[in-house]
Amino acid sequence: MIILRLVWESIMNRKFTTILTILSIAVSTSLLLGVDKTRKSARASFINTISGTDLVVGARTGGIQLLLYSVFHIGDATANVTWRTVMDIKNRREVKWVVPISLGDSHRGYRVVGTSTEYFEKFKYRRNIPLKFSEGKKFSDLFDTVLGADVASSLNYKIGDKIVVAHGTGPISIGQDHGDTPFKISGILEYTGTPVDRAVHVSMEAIEAIHVGWETGTFSNQNNKKSPENLRKMNLTPKAVTALYVGLKSRMSTFSLQRWINTYRQEPITAILPGVIFGQLWSVIGNVEKALFIISTMVVFTAILGMIISILASLNERRREMAILRSIGAKPFQVFILFSMEATTIALLGVLIGFCSLYGILYLIQPFIENLTGLYMEITAPTWNEIVLMILIVGTSIIASIVPAFRAYRTSLSDGLMIRG
């Protein structure tokens, strides 16, 4: 108890320096734990970009490429999947639902996604969170469209506005738009933090309708066949789709259906498990989060080094203090313990303040982070990994404190009482 009191008195005797040291450790601890939580949340959000979908099916290609264009809408498909194949898959007894996806058009740089109304019911993200509408409803008319949150906010669209889609995926189209078949905005989705936010959703029939007359690659509107009234009377069953999301009645049949699809003889197609491919893709792009973690670790070590330098710098000022302690019976080992406990106490206070500050800040800004970035940082009890990191910080501080403690240990009574000119 006497040593603890001496430690506390010693810390309070140098309040300004000690507070700065504690703050530096607290900030570095918050940074380290924050980066660790961010990278884990980012990985979880990335892997859960699409949830509740058992298989993604597309033309024969690599798994990562299929995932990129079907889920992230990055790049283009190597080929399409015929509607007959879609029906064959849908009619399999293992299949519960199928949602087709058709890509290839855009609106002012945002991808147009042709799909069915089931998309808004079956597509889920994160932990099986369904899509919700902030305004309006899903499309009901042939030329209705539903916008993602980013599209609506960046282009200042509202319910009832009309938009025109264009061929291709570039931000600018020259003479390649479907100006004769504008779409009316019927709904705007809530923010999800997924590629859904950057998509313009229309029906599969609408995709077929806007491409009537473009069979030769250039538009020909003979006999006014492409008027909205005429298009509504036509058979607009899709001939092919880009990809499809598949939900199964039981996950026990996932691998058997995947094998059946991958060996389908009518046309070359591929089925992937989204979670598996997400993991592979993250291993490719995850080096950035590892680099951030390394940088934050270096910041922690810098803070600990600053604490040790501060204690070492104060040794000359504390020679007389140590000499008095020795003169009243304190043993060299007790002086060693005093300095070690002082460094340990500073580290503990810094770690605790840093941990509490991080969770306090997260509690306040979590909704803003989710709305701005889509990154969901769940606030839970400290994980085992966080506890280990904090123990390592304190343990490193204790080990580092051996240096000034050993210097103090070697300081003799005569050296402390010596009057220096």
Residue 307 lies in a domain: yes
341-376 pLDDT per residue, tens: 877 888 888 889 989 998 888 888 877 776 666 666
Q: How much of the chain exceeds pLDDT 70, in percent?
A: 80
**How far apart (Å, rounded) are the C-alpha atoms in residues 144 and 140?**
7
147 pLDDT band, cuts 50/70/90, is: very high
Residue ending a domain, choose from 219, 244, 272: 272
Please tell me the predicted confidence (pLDDT) of residue 211.
77
Residues 234 and 354 grouped into a single domain: no
Residue ending a domain, choose from 223, 242, 272: 272
Does residue 111 carry a pLDDT above 60?
Answer: yes
* Residue 100, CA atoms < 13 Å, CB-side half-sphere: 28
Please tell me the predicted confidence (pLDDT) of residue 305.
79
40-76 pLDDT per residue, tens: 777 777 777 888 899 999 999 999 899 999 998 888 8
Expressed as residue numbers, the domain containing 26 is 2-46+287-417
Please tell me the predicted confidence (pLDDT) of residue 208.
87
CA-closest candidate to residue 324, choices 404, 405, 417 = 417
Q: Select, from the ranges 149-153, 207-211, 229-233, the one with the highest average predicted confidence (pLDDT).
A: 149-153
Please tell me the predicted confidence (pLDDT) of residue 308.
76
Residues 177 and 315 grouped into a single domain: no
SS3 for 65? helix
Please tell me the predicted confidence (pLDDT) of residue 319.
65
Mean pLDDT, residues 239-251 taken together:
93
Domain count within the chain = 2
- Higher-confidence residue of 209 and 115: namely 115
Residue 303 lies in a domain: yes
Residue 189 lies in a domain: yes
- Higher-confidence residue of 56 and 377: namely 56
Residues 72 and 221 grouped into a single domain: yes
Q: Give residues with Cβ within 8 angstroms of 60, minimum separation 6.
A: 78, 79, 268, 269, 270
Residue 409 lies in a domain: yes
Residues 162 and 104 grouped into a single domain: yes
Does residue 38 carry a pLDDT above 70?
Answer: yes
Mean pLDDT, residues 179-195 taken together:
87
Residues 235 and 325 grouped into a single domain: no
134 pLDDT band, cuts 50/70/90, is: very high
**How far apart (Å, rounded) are the C-alpha atoms in residues 92 and 96?**
9
The region of weakest confidence among 299-313, 349-363, 404-418 is 404-418
Residues 89 and 202 grouped into a single domain: yes
Does residue 392 carry a pLDDT above 50?
Answer: yes
Residues 208 and 167 grouped into a single domain: yes
Residue 279 lies in a domain: no
Tell whether pTM > 0.75. no
Residues 193 and 59 grouped into a single domain: yes
DSSP per residue, 271-293: EE-HHHHHHHHHHHHTHHHHHHH
Residues 39 and 133 grouped into a single domain: no
136 pLDDT band, cuts 50/70/90, is: very high
Residues 244 and 388 grouped into a single domain: no
**How far apart (Å, rounded) are the C-alpha atoms in residues 387 and 196?**
36
Residue 351 lies in a domain: yes
Does residue 223 carry a pLDDT above 50?
Answer: no
Residue 277 lies in a domain: no
Residue ending a domain, choose from 272, 301, 324: 272
CA-closest candidate to residue 81, choices 243, 211, 203 = 243
Residue 280 lies in a domain: no
Please classify residue 243 by burial: count the beta carbons closer than 10 Å to its beta carbon, then call 0-12 exposed, 13-18 middle and 19+ buried.
Answer: buried
Residues 117 and 263 grouped into a single domain: yes
- Higher-confidence residue of 378 and 102: namely 102
CA-closest candidate to residue 120, choices 129, 128, 132, 110 = 132
SS3 for 294? helix
Q: How much of the chain exceeds pLDDT 90, in percent?
A: 31
Residues 189 and 328 grouped into a single domain: no
Is 244:100 a contact under the CB 8 Å cutoff? yes
Does residue 15 carry a pLDDT above 70?
Answer: yes
